[in-house]
Structure 1
Amino acid sequence: MSRVVDYDVIVIGTGAAGLSAAALAAEGGANVLMVEAADRTGGSSALSGGVFYAAGTSLQREAGIAGDTAQAMFHYYMTLNQYKLEPALVRTFCERAAEAFEWLRGMGVGFTVENLYASGVDKVRRGHRATDGGAGIVAGLEGFLSDKNVDTVLGTRVERLLVEEGRVHGIVADGEPVRSAATVIATGGFGANPELLARLYPDAARHGDLHWYIGAPTCRGDGLGLAAQVEGQLSQINRGLLLITPGFVKDLESYLPGWLMMVNRAGRRFIDETIEYSVLAAVLDEQPGHDCFAIFDEASRLASRTTKYRPAPNWTADRLLDHVEAGTLVSAPTLDELAGKIGVPAARLATTAERYNALVQAGEDRDYFKPSAMLRPVSQGPFYAAHIRPAVICWTGTGIRIDTEARVLGADDRPVPGLYAAGETTGGMFGQCYAAGGASIGNAVVFGRIAGANAAKER
């Protein structure tokens, strides 16, 4: 930035939260400046699957789903996380998600009935997957902003906030001040910042170099530092979403094949292997070593293929042999030898496999109630074991505390005048278990809209 320019609203970050904030601020009559650290807009949102979680939408009605409500969504969301969240924030999200979804749909973001699915661990189809993924949502927001009174500066990091007499009056970027009536922090998470991960999300550092982050490399937690300048509070630490991985490649695969037999380090099954990825990651946290092994036999390897609904391209028959060759998949001619290689009690693993095979033969998993179609025996050598760990950092859930008006809360629990925040940079909305695919994008858009609308009123 070469000169000082005054704006009504400054939005820091241009993911779904920042773009939504800029859109509502501009609609409210504000002239807006968006500042982005990357060389293009979109942030981690553009890299996401583009799922939006909401209840009571037009798309649900088109699919014949009647009677789904914000209240039902709230009850599910809070119960899943044992009410260890900030209820007012969750309630606001649930009540305003449908409105935000219709807004996106109205601006041309594509959503179809075919891409409406049950993204949580309940059976209600609330996961609205955008036709063109997260990039499609970002493109829709960018198109909406194209004729609005919004300036955008790329490749620029905000160094600090301008604070006068306890009120935020803008930012300093490239050493120069830019004044505003209100500022919105929407800088995303801190998944690309190893120091913050170690301090605020220690579970994400547990497995060392195996960990990797799927979000934008520019997401380094800038917003947390800016909020700290005005004593903005942080939500509970060690929150986020870790996806499970066998460590085959650094490629995102949210699902494992449901036909695997998973055992912990004691050699025992511990879960329905088809359970949602977010739940599996949380359950793994309770297992010895915080990991497990996926066991299967030669017949299952030969039958393995990817599917449209649970894509797992690294688990096809030929690829699995490649992983054996690379040393990331363990193989042995007998189950006893396999147990020795992975360090689990051989006798107990044999008992587990015997019991599992009996359930397969009976056609019913009476232990963990996995769908019968996913039951395959573990009986024909050679046998295989993949080491499964929650090590892919999807997003970070510790962040700036806000109220239901998206105002940043200071040390005295009062809103910091002139400062708002939305999206992954905020906290309080997410617990140990991710509620459902699309909750992150939904949260970003809902609170981005709230932040932008309120910021515009301060001009």
Structure 2
Amino acid sequence: MEATRQHQDEPHALPRTSDIDVVVVGAGLAGICAAIVAAEQGASVQVLDSAHGGGASAVSGGVIYAGGGTRQQVEAGYGGDTPENMFLYLREEVGDAVDEATLQRFCEESVGHIAWLEKHGVRFSGALCPFRTSYPTSNYFLYFSGNERAHPFATVATARPEGHRAVGVPRGGMNLTGMDFWTALYDSAVRLGVKFQFASKAEEVLLDGNGNIEGVRYRAIDNKAKSFRRYLSLTSRAAKYHGLSMHSVAKRLDRWAKATWERDAYQRTLEARSVILAAGGYIMDNDMIKKFMPWASRTAPLGTAGDDGSGIRLGQSVGGSVSYMNYFTTWRLMYPPESLLEGIVVSTSGERIAAEDLYGASFSNIMVEKHGGCGFLILDSKQWQKVKIQAKTQTQMPWKAFIQYLIYWAHEKAKTLEDLARKLKVDPSALKTTVQAYNNAITSDKPDPVGKLGYRSIIATGPFYGIDISLKPSGMMVVPAMGLGGLRVDGPSGLVLNDTRERIRGLYAAGRNAVGICSNSYISGLALADCVFSGKRAGEHAACA
């Protein structure tokens, strides 16, 4: 992929241009959506990206949370979904992260978002996954991606499949389609005349004498320099390794890329009446993590080198305020195979942590907040055999490798529950009592003690199996984490707000640079959906400002 041709100037000069209406900082999903919409409105747009574009979205699974009656839902037999039903469910998930009017707008526009993405080349399908999964195999593209069927969510809204995975070409044996999602939009943006400058980092938001947004100062490697392609190659490879949680390799590549950029980048300024900050999250910034999420050292960062909090700091530098910075999501996904959910997860005290049929990130957050990030999945031999059988059809690389690792290596086995508890360093007496309560509720046809609605089977037949699912920063049992906070923004426009909640005219934030739909809690597809929503919102308003 080559960057669009930029203005060519002498190295280390400080050229100034004034023919751009909108500058977008960051070429991930939020940035690319903002750029496309602004260009559709007739604005001239320049996108700056510190790497090669794509950001964390391009190394993701390519899932967008959408509902209200999409074409894909209709194809799968769920045409009865409505924006109102979607709103009722998401209100439980989103809480007060955004105001009610913003959430209502998000739901009402959801069907249109899918149609808009399809217009710009992203492909979706109504092939519904028939089993509970954290990510569908290559045959399926629509699934229940959150807590739709879990308590209390199933009591407030009718469960509908709202995880829409983009159709794409498997790469390296894996069916992750985030790159297909992003590439389709990038190609559309180029056709619309959006200019891209890769290997460029915004370092300052410029203000005029009256405090109005005037543009940005940035540093960039000239796209004709020999080091330009080397830099983009290093950042592209690093992003792939970050996506695979191979962070030691990724960080080495990032260091080489940074050294190249520091040596060869030179300063420029770009004048524009509007600046949209869409530069990713802050999980890669050690100072922010130590301040807001000190426990995150026990997890692996989910993102790329660009998720260094720079976009958030740019907003703060001109008066922007932040919120939800200590909110997070962690992923200890326990399915597929879905039979893993038939077991129970206990703390070191032997007590149930939460309903196991919750979405994996929702469950993990409870495990972190209330149990120190420690948990143990308990199954009996019948459940274990079901896991082995289902793994053949319900998993695909790289998840298949992880499940095989659990089945053949990363577990404890014992003839009795008490012996298993001792191996796991769990209270034996409490574990026995917890299992009895779980079994009694099933045999007496009573509600589950912690509210699990499905996937219930008694734990009675030895030998018994235990898997340590506690937080781990590396290896096959790694637990990824991502921060959810950002700059506070105005609901209708996406303009950044200052400490007194006044709008900073001409400055917008989108995606993980902003507090948004997924800032309170995360379910699969909600971050990409928020990128599309907030990016389009900022682009529309900026183009017309």
If the length of structure 2 is used for normalisation, what is the TM-score? Answer: 0.74
Shift of the 128–317 alpha-carbon distance from structure 1 to 2, 3 Å rule, reads closer
Deviates more, 1:161-170 or 1:118-127: 118-127
Matches within 5 A, 1:4-403: 4-6=16-18, 7-38=20-51, 40-54=52-66, 55-83=68-96, 85-114=98-127, 115-122=141-148, 123-132=159-168, 133-164=177-208, 165-174=210-219, 175-200=267-292, 202=293, 205-206=294-295, 208=297, 210-244=298-332, 257-298=340-381, 300-305=383-388, 306=391, 309=394, 312-314=399-401, 316=403, 319-323=406-410, 329-332=411-414, 334-357=416-439, 366-368=448-450, 370=452, 375=457, 377-381=459-463, 383-389=465-471, 392-403=479-490
The answer on whether the counterparts of 1:245 and 1:388 sit within 8 Å (CA) in structure 2 is: no
Deviation at 1:45, TM superposition (A): 0.8
The answer on whether the counterparts of 2:94 and 2:520 sit within 8 Å (CA) in structure 1 is: yes
Deviation at 1:116, TM superposition (A): 2.1
Q: Distance in 1 between matches of 2:444 and 2:405?
A: 30
Shift of the 8–442 alpha-carbon distance from structure 1 to 2, 3 Å rule, reads same
Deviation at 1:20, TM superposition (A): 0.7
Shift of the 255–241 alpha-carbon distance from structure 1 to 2, 3 Å rule, reads farther
Shift of the 125–156 alpha-carbon distance from structure 1 to 2, 3 Å rule, reads same
Counterpart of 2:470 in 1: which secondary structure?
strand
Shift of the 390–57 alpha-carbon distance from structure 1 to 2, 3 Å rule, reads farther
Partner residue in 1 for 2:238:
none
The number of equivalent residue pairs is: 442
Deviates more, 1:340-349 or 1:215-224: 340-349
Percent identical pairs in the alignment equals: 26
Deviation at 1:104, TM superposition (A): 0.5
Deviation at 1:455, TM superposition (A): 1.6
Q: Distance in 2 between matches of 1:394 and 1:48?
A: 13
Deviates more, 1:277-286 or 1:353-362: 353-362
Deviation at 1:438, TM superposition (A): 1.6
CA deviations 1:154-173 (Å, max 9, x no partner) are: 11211111111211111111
Deviates more, 1:293-302 or 1:262-271: 293-302
Deviation at 1:344, TM superposition (A): 2.3
2:457 matches 1:457 = no
Shift of the 253–213 alpha-carbon distance from structure 1 to 2, 3 Å rule, reads farther
Shift of the 4–309 alpha-carbon distance from structure 1 to 2, 3 Å rule, reads farther
Deviation at 1:28, TM superposition (A): 1.6
Q: Distance in 2 between matches of 1:398 and 1:254?
A: 32
Q: Distance in 2 between matches of 1:270 and 1:412?
A: 40
Q: Distance in 2 between matches of 1:190 and 1:393?
A: 14
Q: Distance in 1 between matches of 2:381 and 2:444?
A: 21
What residue identity is the alignment partner of 2:87? F
The answer on whether the counterparts of 1:237 and 1:398 sit within 8 Å (CA) in structure 2 is: yes
Q: Distance in 2 between matches of 1:298 and 1:217?
A: 43
The answer on whether the counterparts of 1:408 and 1:419 sit within 8 Å (CA) in structure 2 is: yes
Deviates more, 1:391-400 or 1:106-115: 391-400
Deviates more, 1:227-236 or 1:292-301: 292-301
The answer on whether the counterparts of 1:86 and 1:428 sit within 8 Å (CA) in structure 2 is: no
Q: Distance in 1 between matches of 2:342 and 2:468?
A: 13
Q: Distance in 1 between matches of 2:373 and 2:190?
A: 47
2:535 matches 1:443 = no
Counterpart of 2:104 in 1: which secondary structure?
helix
CA deviations 1:269-295 (Å, max 9, x no partner) are: 243322211321233245333432112
Q: Distance in 1 between matches of 2:464 and 2:75?
A: 49
Shift of the 318–431 alpha-carbon distance from structure 1 to 2, 3 Å rule, reads closer
The answer on whether the counterparts of 2:213 and 2:506 sit within 8 Å (CA) in structure 1 is: yes
CA deviations 1:195-249 (Å, max 9, x no partner) are: 112223x2xx3263x3112222221111111001111011233223211269xxx
Which sections of structure 1, spanning at least 5 residues, go unmatched?
247-251, 324-328
What residue identity is the alignment partner of 2:351? R
**Larger strand proportion of the pair:** 1
Shift of the 168–372 alpha-carbon distance from structure 1 to 2, 3 Å rule, reads closer
Q: Distance in 2 between matches of 1:372 and 1:82?
A: 25
Deviates more, 1:57-66 or 1:122-131: 57-66
Deviation at 1:394, TM superposition (A): 4.6
Deviation at 1:37, TM superposition (A): 0.8
Q: Distance in 1 between matches of 2:36 and 2:87?
A: 27
Which sections of structure 2, spanning at least 5 residues, go unmatched?
1-7, 10-14, 128-140, 149-158, 169-176, 220-266, 474-478
Deviation at 1:353, TM superposition (A): 3.0
Deviation at 1:385, TM superposition (A): 3.4
Shift of the 318–90 alpha-carbon distance from structure 1 to 2, 3 Å rule, reads closer
Q: Distance in 1 between matches of 2:195 and 2:392?
A: 43
The answer on whether the counterparts of 2:376 and 2:466 sit within 8 Å (CA) in structure 1 is: no
Counterpart of 1:294 in 2: which secondary structure?
strand
Q: Distance in 1 between matches of 2:471 and 2:414?
A: 21
The answer on whether the counterparts of 2:484 and 2:520 sit within 8 Å (CA) in structure 1 is: no
Shift of the 199–178 alpha-carbon distance from structure 1 to 2, 3 Å rule, reads same
What residue identity is the alignment partner of 1:199? K
What residue identity is the alignment partner of 2:212? R
The answer on whether the counterparts of 1:254 and 1:277 sit within 8 Å (CA) in structure 2 is: no
Q: Distance in 2 between matches of 1:144 and 1:423?
A: 19
Shift of the 362–412 alpha-carbon distance from structure 1 to 2, 3 Å rule, reads closer
Deviation at 1:377, TM superposition (A): 2.8
Report the RMSD for the aligned CA atoms in angstroms.
2.9
Q: Distance in 2 between matches of 1:242 and 1:396?
A: 9
Counterpart of 2:275 in 1: which secondary structure?
strand
